[in-house]
A = this chain, B = another copy of it.
Amino acid sequence: MKNITVYDIAREANVSVSTVSRVLNDTAPVKASTREKVNKIIKKYQFQPNALARSLISKATGTIGIIVPDITNPFFPEVFKGAETEARAKGYTFFLCDTEGDYERESEYLSILKEKRVDGIVFLGGRINLARCSPKLAEEVTELSKQIPVVLVNGNLPKSSMYRVMTDEAAGAELATRHLIEMGHRDIAFLGGYDAMSTTSQKVKAYKRIMKEAGLPVRPEWIIHDGLSIESGKAMMGQLIGMKERPSAVLCVNDFTAVGAVKEAIERGLRIPEDISVVGYDDTHLSTAIIPELTTVTQHTYELGKQAVQILHQLINREETRKLTLFQPELVVRQSTGPYHELAPKVE
């Protein structure tokens, strides 16, 4: 029952523990015959060296912590998948920390990850998406990053120069807005996210800029920031439809809200895209799961995770690497957007 150790192996093989260690790590030449003898006993007992003891000496654990706000939002599993595939190839295992966007939980996990001596941390969501993150929250991360490599994905921290991997959110929103304008839409709303979130505000800013450039009016009442979930998407679309004048097209902050918006619109008897166009953001699996399939902005989620780990790996190995990796998003036109119709014609 007792855990078997290098000593047990050594004793049975009539060698010293150092020799066992040598065959284990191939760190110095060992006579072929002894090596075989040792290996046989290792196999016999299925001996696996204790990674804890090893890490205590090597100061490397082969683990990475990944902090996400909601693993239930398909965007994050997709990023995770990219990260994990890359990490596995490099010999890392992941601690997955779901914070539910709660800053306190983030702090907790940060502390745990540090205690557990992870080799690096990938940080998504929560405080790094705040338009104005409190100095205290920010400092906690920047301080930690002096001790453990940290890579932020799609976020940033004030007064810091963290390593970051991100999509150009503004560019994505620009693409989406242009697309709608080119389809002849003039009355375009923006739905979802939160005022305080940088990911939201960056998109809104781009949307407003493009609208102005095109000489189109931006109506404050058509910009609603009230959540990121499917449910909130429904609610916000409901609000929009309830107004005296409603837009002919809607930009959503992510696929979740877009799906909600689409559902609500259809339930209220609107046709998509004939009566109202909707565009999402993220290009998660969800966007092709529904009917009509969502026109959305692809973020290269998998690549985002993969790059984050690559950067982290370089940091861990103390290699020079770029501070910022920026991905250019692309618009994926599917079925939820269509040309503007003055009076929605009866179709089919």
Contacts and interface: CB of A to CB of B under 8 A. Distances in A.
Interface of A: 3, 46, 48-53, 55-56, 59, 61, 63, 71-72, 74, 76-78, 80-81, 84, 93-98, 109, 111-117, 143, 230, 259, 262-263, 266, 285-286, 288-291
B114 A48 contact: yes
Nearest to A108: B88
Nearest to A288: B230
A88 to B, nearest CB: 8
Given A96-B96, A112-B93, A117-B51, A289 B288 contact: no
Given A53-B56, A77-B77, A259-B289, A115 B266 contact: no
How many copies of the shown chain assemble into the complex? Answer: 2
Nearest to A49: B115
Contact of A71 (B50, B71, B95, B266): B71
6 contacts: A50-B115, A72-B77, A72-B78, A77-B77, A93-B95, A230-B285
B52 A117 contact: yes
Contacts of A259: 289
Given A94-B95, A95-B95, A259-B289, A52 B56 contact: yes
Contact of A98 (B61, B72, B84, B115): B84
Contacts of A94: 95-97
Nearest to A286: B289
A290 B290 contact: yes
A140 B167 CA distance: 42
Contacts of A263: 289, 291
A266 B266 CA distance: 15
A42 B289 CA distance: 53
A263 B266 CA distance: 16
Contact of A50 (B56, B109, B230): B56
A212 to B, nearest CB: 34
Given A56-B53, A289-B230, A289-B289, A81 B93 contact: no
Contact of A48 (B59, B63, B115): B115
Nearest to A293: B263
Most chain B Cβ neighbours within 10 Å, of A61, A95, A112: A112
A123 B112 CA distance: 24
A289 B291 contact: no
List of 5 A-B pairs having minimum Cβ-Cβ separation, nearest first: A96-B96, A51-B115, A71-B77, A51-B116, A72-B77
Given A93-B95, A96-B96, 11 more contacts: A3-B59, A51-B115, A71-B80, A72-B74, A93-B109, A95-B95, A230-B288, A230-B289, A286-B286, A289-B290, A290-B291
A339 B262 CA distance: 26
